[in-house]
Amino acid sequence: MKMTASQEEITKIYVTPSGVAIIKCPDCEMIRTLTVDKFRGTKHILNIKCSCKRLFRVKLEFRKFYRKKAELSGDYVLLPEKIHRGRLMVVNISQGGVGVHILGTHRLSAGQEIQICFTLDDKHGSVIDRRAVVRVVSKNNVCCEFKGNGSSHDKALGFYLMV
């Protein structure tokens, strides 16, 4: 069967760690979510037919760390004792984690676990409140990897990273 979709640019879709792609129709802007984990490592371009009859193509991007620049204030607390806490600025964000700039002095080091909370500047002001592991510390710049999954967060982050 021949492809009938036009030769326009293929939209890249970043797949969440839980294997969900959030796809928006270029015509009617209807959003659908597809479980695409089964395509990991195999089929990367999908032909989508929207209910408005529009045909379009998307390319699945399974890369874990698509990072988007950000400037979001938030705070953190060191786990498990919750004594050491402070303010931070999220400077980049991905489905897998965040890069932050710690405001003031801190005593974070690689391998520690923190609870990190910040608000996205999306239209819902989605609050992201996640456990994360500190991976890299360079002075006040800290890279953290999210732990576990936060399915509602995955979706809010997915939308945030799409625009």
Q: Does 156 bind Zn ion (CB under 5 A)?
A: no
The amino acid at 30: M
Q: Does 25 bind Zn ion (CB under 5 A)?
A: yes
> Cβ closer to Zn ion: 52 or 110?
52
Site for Zn ion in 54-93 (CB under 5 A): 54
Q: Does 52 bind Zn ion (CB under 5 A)?
A: yes
CA 34 to chain centre: 16
Which stretch in 42-50, 87-95, 120-128, 141-149 sits in contact with Zn ion by CB under 5 A? Answer: 42-50
Sign of CA pseudo-dihedral 111, 114, 97, 92: negative
Among 5, 6, 9, 27, binds Zn ion (CB under 5 A): 27
β pairing state of 20-24 and 45-49: unpaired
**CA-CA-CA-CA dihedral for 95, 92, 142, 89, to nearest 10:** -120
Q: Which residues bind Zn ion (CB under 5 A)?
A: 25, 27-28, 30, 50, 52, 54
